Amino acid sequence: MPLDEDLRRYTAPPDNPPEERRYYRSDIVDYFGFWVPTIPGASFTLDEVREMLKEAADSLTDEEYGIDML
């Protein structure tokens, strides 16, 4: 390719930004349910519930445990 060749013709226009993903209620419930231990007959204090919800919220976009992995 000649050094003085105009390379601008090889560049594509920018793509439209991707549409933000939307989640159904069932996806959200399943995701948060994943963070609640499945111990038969278990009950939790309000602080334990807060901690579970905080962990789930902090991990929403995590590649391994995020909501997109369900």
Predicted local distance difference test score (pLDDT) of residue 55: 94
Q: State how far the Cα of 60 lies from the Cα of 54, in Å rounded to an integer.
A: 10
Q: Is the pTM above the cut of 0.75? A: no
Check residue 8 and give its pLDDT.
66
Residue 30, CA distances (Å) to 9, 26, 34, 59, 60 in order: 48, 6, 6, 14, 12
Residue 57: predicted pLDDT? 95
What is the rounded (10 degree) CA torsion for 10, 16, 18, 22? Answer: -160
